[in-house]
Amino acid sequence: MPFPEQVEYFDFVPEKLGRWTKENDIRTLAAARFKSPDDGRTVLILICVNPSAWGAATEARKHALRQDRITQAKRTLGDVLPCWRDYVEEPGNLTLAFRAKGQRTDPPHGGWGRDVARRTVASFPRPFAENTRTVQS
């Protein structure tokens, strides 16, 4: 089965994680959106975390913990993207959500913070800095 030719990646930084509007205790760490080469539906994959993971740490430690989780989330996103078809259960556009360590979770019922992410369009799988272009929101 073919893979999507291009993917829109959403990158977050420790100071600006994606906030889920109806689930106050969840933040997006990494995301990707693409058109299915099978049927043209839009597929959105979110990698998230509960901010209690860094709880009562100092600000410097919270920053480091967030950065570690973002790095882990990008690895998880890279692992999930090639096998997204395994999670397709219903017709129509699809939103899949995973915890940073890879466990599937319910997708958000509202926004997921895409407005604070840096958007990059790249080939699939995601290459390094070359062959990518940043998209203005």
* Tens of pLDDT, residues 15-55: 999 999 887 789 999 999 999 888 889 999 999 998 887 77
* Tens of pLDDT, residues 82-115: 888 888 777 889 999 999 989 999 999 889 999 9
Model confidence at 130, in pLDDT bands (50, 70, 90)? very low
Domain ranges of the chain: 6-135
CA angle 70, 75, 81 (to 5 degrees): 120
DSSP states of the chain as a string? -PPPSEEEEEE-BTTBPEEPSS-TT-EEEEEEEEE-TTT--EEEEEEEE-GGGGTT--HHHHHHHHHHHHHHHHHHHHHHGGGGGGG--SSS-EEEEEETTS-EEPPPSS--SGGGSEEEEEESS--SSTTEEEE--
